[in-house]
């Protein structure tokens, strides 16, 4: 059985957890607590990887780090090339580029959120930050989504990242809720595999970022 290792928060691992649940992959989680040195002093030293980091994914003899590499491995192993826009035979598909582009757009939004949430002046900046740094690009994505079920018509890994970003925004900025995004989250949460995951309580459900270093780690830190 494979193992996903990460801090006891949603963070960079949550889209990967959603993906594993969607694909119905049996895996165990290694959740590291912030008041423990288990990762720094123990597992990081013994991971046997050139660049040990969190999240990591261990599948037999395969050890992968980086949140961009892990989902690609999982998707390809389970032959769901459609989730990253690839043709099964490896021939070029313009959709690959579209998926990568969309992931980049969503990560641009997430980067702005992360900059705010780890800023020591979070409370001072929060009120005006959404309008100044997030809403413009978010509105473009909502317009791009339009009446489609998913960002690129059919489900891709970009949707897994977008869903988690929306949930984060709903907590951080309730004014970001619009009918299109509400409908989108409900549709995503009703997907088989995803539905079971979101209905199962997890210790990290309302923690998005590092509880020690982030000025805002989730709704429990308000």
H, E, C per residue of 106-145? HHHHHHHHHHHHCCCCHHHHHHHHHHHHHHHHHHHHHHHH
CB neighbours of 67 closer than 8 A, spacing ≥ 6? 12, 13, 15, 16, 55
The predicted pLDDT at position 119 comes to 98
The Cα–Cα gap between 208 and 218 comes to 5
| Mean pLDDT calculated for residue range 69-87 | 96
What is the length of the chain?
Answer: 222
pLDDT digits (tens, 9 = 90+) for 128-165: 999 999 999 999 999 999 999 999 999 999 999 999 99
Contact 152, 95 (CB under 8 A): yes
CB neighbours of 137 closer than 8 A, spacing ≥ 6? 105, 108, 109, 112
pLDDT digits (tens, 9 = 90+) for 11-42: 999 999 999 999 999 999 999 998 889 999 99
Q: In what order do the strands lie in the sheet with 2-7?
A: 27-32, 2-7, 56-59, 62-65
- Cβ atoms < 10 Å from Cβ of 75: 19
The Cα–Cα gap between 170 and 217 comes to 14
| Mean pLDDT calculated for residue range 159-187 | 97
The crossing angle, in degrees rounded to 10, of helices 157-172 and 69-77 is 140
Q: Report how far apart, in Å, the C-alpha atoms of 176 and of each of 10, 15, 157, 160, 190 are.
A: 20, 20, 22, 18, 21
The predicted pLDDT at position 221 comes to 79
Contact 172, 206 (CB under 8 A): no
| Mean pLDDT calculated for residue range 163-185 | 97
């Amino acid at each position: 059985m494979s193992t996903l290792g990460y801090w006891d928060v949603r963070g960079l691992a949550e889209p990967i957890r959603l993906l594993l649940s969607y694909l119905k992959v049996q895996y165990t989680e290694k959740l590291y607590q912030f008041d423990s040195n288990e990762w720094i002093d123990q597992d990081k030293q013994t991971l046997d990887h050139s660049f040990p980091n969190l999240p990591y994914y261990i599948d037999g003899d395969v050890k992968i780090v980086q949140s961009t590499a892990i989902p690609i491995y999982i998707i390809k192993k389970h032959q769901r090339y459609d989730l990253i826009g690839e043709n099964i035979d490896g021939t070029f598909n313009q959709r690959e580029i579209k998926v990568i582009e969309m992931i980049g757009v969503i990560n641009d939004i997430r980067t702005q959120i992360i900059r705010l949430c780890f800023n020591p002046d979070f409370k001072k900046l929060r009120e005006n930050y959404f309008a100044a740094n997030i809403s413009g690009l978010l509105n473009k994505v909502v317009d791009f989504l339009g009446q489609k079920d998913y960002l690129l018509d059919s489900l891709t890994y970009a949707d897994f990242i977008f869903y988690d970003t929306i949930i984060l925004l709903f907590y951080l900025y309730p004014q970001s809720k619009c009918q299109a995004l509400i409908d989108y989250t409900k549709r995503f949460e009703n997907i088989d595999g995803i539905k079971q995951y979101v209905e199962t309580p997890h210790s990290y459900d309302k923690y998005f970022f590092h509880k020690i270093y982030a000025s805002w780690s989730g709704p429990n830190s308000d």
